[in-house]
Each structure stands twice: as C-alpha cells, then as structure tokens.
Amino acid sequence: MVQANYRQAENHRVNKFIFIQQIFGQVFALIIGLTGIGCGAWVALNGATWTGGLIASVAITGLAVVFLQGQKDE
C-alpha cells in the first residue's frame, strides 16, 4: 500500500513537471517568434526589405521545423 501511494505521488510529480516543461517551451517559442518577426520588421523598415523579410522568415521556419520534428517523434 505504501509503495502504491509512493508510485502515484511520483507519477503526479512527473506529470506536473512535464506540463511545466511544455508550458515553458511554448512561452519561449512565442518569445523567439515575436523577436524574429520584430527584428525582421525593424530591419525592413530601416531600408533592407529583403533582409528583414529573410530574418522574419527564418525565425518562423525554424519554429515550424522544430514543431514538426516534435510531432513526428511522438
């Protein structure tokens, strides 16, 4: 009985930490995406339109690749 309670508590802790890890991953992905788009827009507004578009595109493409790789691994 004690061992079953310990396993249930351990399973609960592991699930909680996995959830927290996923939330942090989503938050940091949002920060990376917005930073990439913001920097690309800033560069584009300062005269280098192609470079700004490239910076924003690379940021979004990088996030998409990581997301699709994660979906494939599951």
Count how many domains the chain has.
Answer: 1
**Interval 4-54: pLDDT, tens:** 899 999 999 999 999 999 999 899 999 999 999 999 999 999 989 999 999
What's the CA angle centered on 37, arms 29 and 60, to 5 degrees?
A: 55
Q: Is residue 2's pLDDT more than 90?
A: no
User: In terms of pTM, does the model score above 0.85?
Assistant: no
Q: Is residue 66's pLDDT more than 90?
A: no
In Å, how far from its chain's centre is CA 37?
15
Q: In which domain, by residue range, is 42 found?
A: 2-73
Lookup: tokens for 33: 């995406």
